[in-house]
Amino acid sequence: MSRSKKSRKPSALRQDEVVVTRNRTESDVEGRLRKRLKKRKGLKTGNRNSEATEKKLRQEQQKRDPRLGSKKKIPLIVEAKKKPTKQERRISAEKELEMLENDAQLNVLLDRLDNGENLGAGLQKYVDEKLDRIEVLMKQLGLYEEEPEEIEEEVFEESAPKAKKAKAPASDDELLSQFEGLDLNEFKE
């Protein structure tokens, strides 16, 4: 059986009253849905314990003062570090030199240089630093022997059978005078 309901719209007052009819089954369905939603309002079962631990963790994090810092123990008496003896320094230098000589990457890069390959700027810098360190360690240990630099004497050939041997100039002034004294016509032939 259907039910009729009066509507209170202002336009309805002027005209004949419109009767809105509703099906009883629709209202029953709506009522059941509301009842079902009402039942599910509460919290899930067994939620009490899990929420309590989460709340405690949140409270502990909020209570912790960030200014407290580390709990690491700090020694109250500072002992001065003893300086290594000459013999200990020598042993450590020998170990470091041995490590540098056995460095696989350095050996590979040196082999590449010997084969005539060009290394990038970073690799070349790495090789130079390691070689400089090896040189310093060898000097420290007394193993480094400087090779005397030999100055090659340059021979300028002339059209005549006699050859001039240029001696190594001792200063910049001598170099300049030697350069100014060159006759370029001799080299054109």
Q: What are 22-68's pLDDT values in tens digits?
A: 667 888 888 888 888 877 766 666 666 667 777 777 777 777 776 77
Burial 115-127 (b: 16+ CB within 10 A, else e): eeeeeeeeeeeeb
Residue 108 or residue 182, greater confidence: 108
Q: What's the pTM value of the predicted model, to 2 decimals?
A: 0.36
Rounded to an integer, what distance in angstroms lies between the CA atom of residue 6 and that of residue 21? 9
